[in-house]
Structure 1
């Protein structure tokens, strides 16, 4: 899944958290929560910067794909959310407590979507195995993995042949519908 789908997933996850927990937030705080929650849907992809940089400089430690970094593991986001929850409890802050739930929901929505066809290491650190519903064949590219040209070629030639693209379209349309009907 690419950026629009992950952002839409974060937005939908945030709406779910707000609907389930009904936190005591002001209108302004709720708006900020929706913004931060939407962004949280793409937080696991912060590893793209590291991935791209290591490939750019030709590092021998460069990984084959960006989903190999710790930010693409559920336990990482569970730890981040738990730390935020502890801060929220210590500060008696409904905003920070809600943010901790939103970070968890948004980041895990990302991991769920990546589990459709790309694979996520759900059992890390106990196992390095990635789990996915299916793995599409890898596309051949003349461009360096991690480069903008590589991703452009992937989106233009291979992405719309994958199941994930259709899930992304549905999630994005659902998020737009909820946003407009709000």
Structure 2
């Protein structure tokens, strides 16, 4: 996926925040950050690793790592009496898992690593064009990304029209 992670994160987080008016901005910040967080490994991929290892093989694309991290953070919040902040952990984890699910459409994700090396994806995109990214942009899966982007823009514009620039989660249906 190239362009849909952030818009999908916006749509998911907006739904999560519908009844949490006071936490909207913080929840949106966490959701949007986590919707692209697994791809922060691209910095390492290009700068340090020089593209030797597929970036989907890094720990940042390992669902069990993120589930374990969320469990630890959630436990710390529960023990420290900050149960009301668990929504932020959920928003982060769900956006990361959404990112990985979206990547699984056309890229190999090791959903059960380190328990299994099995790689799961729905569609294989053949290498027909150069440069490499044209293979993805010219594949039908990119139309799905465009639909997600359009949906997010429509939701955002509808909410702006109803309440102005500072939009809350309860403004659209």
CA distance in 1, matches of 2:116, 2:28: 34
TM-score of the aligned structures, taking structure 2 as reference length: 0.80
The aligned residue for residue 15 of structure 1 is: 14
Q: Provide the C-alpha distance between the structure 2 equivalents of 1:118 and 1:73, rounded to a whole number of angstroms.
A: 13
> Offset at 1:140?
6.5
For the 8 Å contact 1:159–1:165, the answer to whether it is kept is yes
Match for residue 33 of structure 1?
27
How many residues are aligned here?
159
1:1-182 map, 5 Å: 1-2=1-2, 4-19=3-18, 22-23=19-20, 26=22, 29-56=23-50, 62-63=52-53, 65-93=54-82, 96-138=85-127, 153-155=131-133, 157-182=134-159
Unaligned stretches of 5+ residues in structure 1: 142-152
Distance 1:177 1:93 in 2: 35
The aligned counterpart of 1:144 is none
The whole-number CA distance in structure 1 between the counterparts of 2:66 and 2:45 is 19
Give the Cα separation in 1 of the matches to 2:55 and 2:5.
15
Following TM superposition, the consecutive aligned residue runs of length 4 or more in structure 1 with deviations greater than 4 angstroms are none
In structure 2, runs of 5+ residues without a counterpart are 160-173
CA gap of 1:93–1:178, structure 2 versus 1, over 3 A, is farther
